[in-house]
């Protein structure tokens, strides 16, 4: 073999190695990042969401799924969630906490909620104490690197209903006070999950202190804000970049509609995103909406 014939395959090999180096990931992680480093938010209906952070951590919020009339049938399987790293609940009402203990148990992860609610769950033996850590309004937890969750005020009520072993009948147990959550992701993107709440003036303080980029607000009425109050909260107090309406049309009372909500928003600086249950919305590393993935069939 002459020198030219030897150099050609060596050169081809070097070029192939360089292409492989620059096209392959530089490192691997047990928690695979979401698509292109994006945050993903899947809506199950009512106030239930699955949030995947930029680093691939999965947070489930207010999971009422199995008996939620709005949740698509193909998602009524808790195993389809895949890996879950954290469960958080805003209060003790069944349409927010129903499937939370089972999801926490399946994944052996903590269920964070208002302090007194978690105390009740501990005393009832719903989960082991180590899976029911407590915090309260104004408290902040750092469950993962770069992620912060702060409990904020909500104007609502809270009880936890479970079977009383002495009577075999449903019994109301103390549920603490309801909260909302400010969830700050690795890139500083802030999501305000309001839980169940009526309109209250201190939402202006939530804007001042946390400046949420995305607000998830109830609009059903009767038990929470209706469309008009929720629109006022957006335009006058919270002023987020994006808002997603939730907690509507799951029972005969919470009849508020996203169409009315958008109407009352008017010429708002906030972009309203009306999701269908089962849809997933993505936000990129620059905090911009990156598209909606339709519900899986």
Distance from C-alpha of 191 to C-alpha of 181, rounded to nearest angstrom: 8
Chain mean pLDDT for the chain:
90
Q: 247 — alpha (psi -120 to 50), left (phi > 0) or beta?
A: left
Spatial CA neighbour of 51 closest among 212, 173, 191 = 191
pLDDT at 2: 47
Whether residue 159 is predicted with pLDDT greater than 60 in this model: the reply is yes
pLDDT at 240 (0 to 100): 98
**Banded pLDDT at 35 (limits 50, 70, 90):** low
Taken in order 86, 90, 91, 92, the sign of the CA dihedral is negative
What is the pLDDT at residue 36?
A: 57
Q: What percent of the chain has pLDDT over 90?
A: 85
Strand 86-88 with 179-184, pairing: unpaired
Mean pLDDT of 4-10: 45
Confidence of residue 91 (pLDDT cuts 50, 70, 90): very high
Q: What is the mean pLDDT of residues 131-143?
A: 98
Instruction: Check: CB of residue 257 under 8 Å from CB of residue 251.
Output: no
Q: Is the pLDDT of residue 20 over 80?
A: no
Tell me the mean pLDDT in the region 271-279: 98
CA 160, 40, 258, 232 dihedral sign is positive
In this prediction, residue 165 carries a pLDDT of 85
Report, as an integer, the average pLDDT of 283-294. 95
pLDDT at 195 over 70: yes
Average of pLDDT values for 150-160? 98
pTM of the model: 0.88
Pick from 196, 272, 192, 275: nearest CA to 238: 192
């Amino acid at each position: 073999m002459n020198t030219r014939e030897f150099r050609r395959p060596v050169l081809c090999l070097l070029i192939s190695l360089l292409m492989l180096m620059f096209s392959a990931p530089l490192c691997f992680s047990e928690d695979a990042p979401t698509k292109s480093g994006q945050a993903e938010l899947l809506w199950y209906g009512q106030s239930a969401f699955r949030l995947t952070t930029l680093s691939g951590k999965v947070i489930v919020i207010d999971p009422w799924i199995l008996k939620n009339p709005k949740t698509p049938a193909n998602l009524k399987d808790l195993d389809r969630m895949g890996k879950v790293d954290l469960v958080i609940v805003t209060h003790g009402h069944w349409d927010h906490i129903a499937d939370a203990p089972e999801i926490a148990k399946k994944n052996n992860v903590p269920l964070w909620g208002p302090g007194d609610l978690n105390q009740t769950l501990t005393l009832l033996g719903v989960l082991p104490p180590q899976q029911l850590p407590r915090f309260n309004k104004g408290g902040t937890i750092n469950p993962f690197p770069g992620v912060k969750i702060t409990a904020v005020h909500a104007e609502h009520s809270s009880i936890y209903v479970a079977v009383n072993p002495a009577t075999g009948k449903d019994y109301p147990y103390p549920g603490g006070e309801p909260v909302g959550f400010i969830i700050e992701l690795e890139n500083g993107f802030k999501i305000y999950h309001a839980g169940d709440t009526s309109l209250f003036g201190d939402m202006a303080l939530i804007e001042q202190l946390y400046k949420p980029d995305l607000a998830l607000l109830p609009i059903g009425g009767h038990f929470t804000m209706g469309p008009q109050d929720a629109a006022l909260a957006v335009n006058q107090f919270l002023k987020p970049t994006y808002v997603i309406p939730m907690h509507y049309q799951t029972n005969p009372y919470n009849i508020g509609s996203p169409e009315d909500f958008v109407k009352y928003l008017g010429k708002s600086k906030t972009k309203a995103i009306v999701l269908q249950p089962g849809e997933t919305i993505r936000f990129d590393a620059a905090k911009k909406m990156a598209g909606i993935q339709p519900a899986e069939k």
